[in-house]
Amino acid sequence: MTVQLRASTLGMVGCHLCGLVCEVPPDAAHASSCPRCGAALHARRPNSLARAWACLLAAVIFYVPANILPVMHTNMLGRGSDSTISTGIVEFWKAGSYGIALVIFIASVAVPCAKFLALGLLLVTGKRRTPWARRERALLYRLVELVGYWSMLDVLVVAIVAGIVKFKALADVEPCIGILFFGGVVILTMLAAMQFDPRITWDGNEHE
């Protein structure tokens, strides 16, 4: 097995902004600027793990009201009803629309929960600098990033339905506070994923 050479061992730091590889003395690696664009140079994103943890934690906290509070107020022929995410899934499932129930379940329960677990796993293993399943963790990170784009499905559905269904007394749909929390969850998990520096996965010893 060949030993991979690392930038840190050579005292080199790549600029995050313009990509210039600069030589930084090891003792001053924390706060120097890129000689070309003037951006601050970091070997790793500063406070990456802490920030990601903070975002993730906030997201988890937001996830609770997002599920408890109603996301949508439907007013059909004068009969109003609030629906939370879980009641929506149950109602669709009971009504026989298994496909839609499944889509909502995946988009609003399975994916966020999976993201929490995945990010948590990445953060914990990153902190420990363990060499365990590094490639798989990298794949997981890419998946989390990829899924991030599609996490706003619920929010979009509510926004579009609320925009279209405006028939005064006949039928009216209004978004409720819950969807705001759900959007917060999605944004915060995306921020957490952004804050997480995937290179941390590869830090530490090559082998245990």
Partner 1 sequence: MVTNMSDVLEKIAPPKASAISAPRRRISLVWILPVLAALIGLSMVVHAWLSAGPEITIDFQTAEGLEVEKTPVKYKDVTVGVVSAIALSYDGSHVTATVSLDKHAANLARADTRFWVVRPRIGLQGVSGIDTLLSGAYIGVDKGTSATPSRNFRGLEAPPTVVNGTPGKSFVLHADDLGSLDIGSPIYYRHIRVGRVASYRLDSDGHDVTLEIFIDAPYDHFVAAKTRFWHASGVDISLGADGLKLDTQSLTTVLAGGIAFGNAEEGGAPAPAKTAFELAKDQRTAMAPSDGDSQYLLLRFEDSLRGLAVGAPVEFAGLNIGRVVSLDLDYDAPARRFPTLVGVVIYPSRLGGVLARLPKYSGNSEQQAAAFLANLVQHGLRAQARSGNLLTGQLYVSFEFVSHAPNVALDPAARPISIPTVPGSFDHMQEQIATIVSKVEKMPLDAIGQHLDASLVDLDKSLKQVNGEVLPATTRSLQQAGLTFQTVQGALSDNAPLQQNLQQTMLQVQRTAQSVRTLTDMLGRHPDALLKGLPSDARLTEPTPSSTVSKEYAQ
Q: Which residues bind partner 1 (CB under 8 A)?
A: 24-25, 28, 30-35, 38, 40, 46-47, 50-51, 54-55, 57-59, 61-62, 64-65, 69, 77-81, 184, 188
| Closer CB to partner 1, 81 or 97, in the complex | 81
In order of 6, 37, 51, 88, the CA distances from 139 in angstroms are: 21, 32, 21, 32
| Closer CB to partner 1, 138 or 165, in the complex | 165
- Decide: helix, strand or coil at residue 73: strand
- Rounded to an integer, what distance in angstroms lies between the CA atom of residue 168 and that of residue 153? 26
| Closer CB to partner 1, 37 or 117, in the complex | 37
Nearest alpha carbon to residue 199 among 47, 45, 51, 46: 45
Nearest approach, Cβ of residue 97 and partner 1 (Å):
21
Contacting residues for 58 by C-beta, under 8 A, at least 6 apart: 184, 188
- Rounded to an integer, what distance in angstroms lies between the CA atom of residue 157 and that of residue 180? 13
| Closer CB to partner 1, 80 or 163, in the complex | 80
| Closer CB to partner 1, 5 or 28, in the complex | 28
Nearest approach, Cβ of residue 195 and partner 1 (Å):
8
Nearest approach, Cβ of residue 84 and partner 1 (Å):
11
Nearest approach, Cβ of residue 185 and partner 1 (Å):
10
Nearest approach, Cβ of residue 198 and partner 1 (Å):
19
Cα 167 versus chain centre, distance: 36
Residues in the chain: 208
